[in-house]
Amino acid sequence: MRHDHITSAKQLSRGDIETVLDRAREIAADPSSYADRHAGALLGLLFFEPSTRTKMSFSAAIKRLGGDVVDMGPVEASSVKKGESLADTVRVVEGYADALVLRHPSEGSAQMASEFVDVPLINGGDGAGQHPTQTLLDLYTIREAAGLDDLTIGIMGDLKYGRTVHSLAYALTNFETSQYFISPESLRLPQNVRYDLDEEGATVEEHTELDPVLSDLDVLYITRIQKERFPDESEYRKVAGQYQIDTTTLDAASDDLTVMHPLPRVDEIDHDVDETSHAQYFQQAHNGVPVRMALLDLLLGGNQ
């Protein structure tokens, strides 16, 4: 891979994606052969927003490559509380680590921060912007379950604030996919994302209901309404609880439908779906470790 920083899924070509996913598959097949690959490497974790999966799977990934983490810890206990700027924080922490993962509430923060550092900086989610490593594990999961070409995917829920959606939508333009976006009017895909997809010649439809398209789908990717991003809680309440699925909803789906969710779920997927063969969301979360191992391996010089 020729990228130093991974800030947006827009920068990932089909070749880049396949390189990461192929490496992840090799790692998943024989993790122990990678155990000392990056002995002594340190990954700096800068999480300015809550995280379970992204932070823990990055930690697991670097440790399974023989490295370790240096973690800024909670924002409240860091010098950010003393008024330190993000640019200064990353300039300091790059001296402590071989690569950085940044999660931050401001859209564009990862791109900005990357301009201040020489070590690879990975965007672990920038506000409602992008979450490119989630996309890599989403693509890995889709490829293993359904293949990435000739695919019809429904992406449903909070398409406006859902950064995993924005990254996935861009990355899928590298493949022969039809993307059906299903959301309330108020949470449609941002116009700039839709514009970019059209520029890429992507096959895109927007819908407000799942039912008319469900039987066409190979993959249904469901997202949480991103409550924390609503400027006004009453706007959240208007859409909360919409777009839930249960096993009855899935009666109309193909037997091979793969149901995905970046997690955490709130009430979008009834727990009865967990027991069906459609449910891939826990496997999807687990795939975060080999995929992040593959990405770190490539960024830390695993090509040699």
Q: Which of 23, 38, 53, 292 is catalytic?
A: 53
Token pair belonging to 285: 């979360």
Structure tokens at 56: 């823990």
Tokens in use for 196? 């970019």
Short-list 8, 36, 5, 2, CA closest to 99: 5
Reply yes or no: is the peptide bond before residue 50 cis, omega within 30 of 0: no
Q: Does 167 bind ligand NCD (CB under 6 A)?
A: no
Tell whether residue 263 is a contact of ligand NCD (CB under 6 A): yes
Q: By rule CB under 6 A, what string of x and - marks binding of each residue 191-230 to ligand NCD?
A: --------------------------------xx-x----
* Shortest distance in whole angstroms from residue 149 CB to ligand NCD: 25
According to CB under 6 A, which one of 5, 64, 160, 163 is a site residue for ligand NCD? 163
Of these residues, 131, 160, 166, 292, which one is catalytic?
Answer: 131
Q: Which of 37, 53, 104, 166 binds ligand NCD (CB under 6 A)?
A: 53
Based on the residue annotation, tell me whether 53 is a catalytic residue of this protein: yes
Nearest to residue 253, comparing CAs of 220, 301, 295, 204?
220
Q: How far apart are CA 265 and CA 281, in angstroms?
A: 10
Please report the DSSP string for 26-50 in residue order. HHHH-GGGGTTTTTT-EEEEEESS-
Prior bond to 264 cis, omega within 30?
yes
Active site residue 25: no
Q: Does residue number 143 form part of the binding site for ligand NCD (CB under 6 A)? A: no
How far is Cα 19 from Cα 128, in angstroms, rounded to an integer? 27
Q: Shortest distance, CB of residue 88 to ligand NCD, whole angstroms?
A: 25
C-beta closer to ligand NCD: residue 94 or 285: 285
- For position 125 contacting ligand NCD by CB under 6 A, the verdict is yes
Report yes or no: 45 and 99 within 8 Å, Cβ to Cβ: no
Residue 164 binds to ligand NCD (criterion: CB under 6 A): yes
Q: How far apart are CA 35 and CA 58, in angstroms?
A: 15
The site for ligand NCD, by CB under 6 A, has a size of 12
Q: Is 67 in the site for ligand NCD (CB under 6 A)?
A: no
What is the closest distance, in whole angstroms, from the C-beta atom of residue 260 to ligand NCD in the complex? 11
Catalytic residue among 54, 89, 177, 258: 54
- CB atoms closer than 10 angstroms to residue 16: 20
How many residues belong to the chain?
304
- The amino acid occupying position 284 is Q
The least CB distance from residue 189 to ligand NCD, in Å, is 15
Distance CA 291, CA 289 (A): 5
Q: State the Cα angle at 72 between 11 and 94, rounded to 5°.
A: 55
Considering 38, 103, 104, 278, which one is annotated as catalytic? 103
7 forms part of the interface with ligand NCD (CB under 6 A): no
Residue 129 engages ligand NCD in binding (rule: CB under 6 A): no
Helix (H, G, I), strand (E, B), or coil: what is residue 267?
coil
Q: Does 166 bind ligand NCD (CB under 6 A)?
A: no
For this structure, is 103 an active site residue? yes
Nearer to ligand NCD, 164 or 178 (CB): 164
Can 131 be counted among the known catalytic residues? yes
134 interacts with ligand NCD by CB under 6 A: yes
Catalytic residue flag (residue 265)? no
Give the closest residue to 289 by CA, choosing from 88, 149, 140. Answer: 140
Which chain residues interact with ligand NCD by CB under 6 A? 53-54, 125, 131, 134, 163-164, 223-224, 226, 262-263
Which residues are catalytic, by number? 53-54, 82, 103, 131
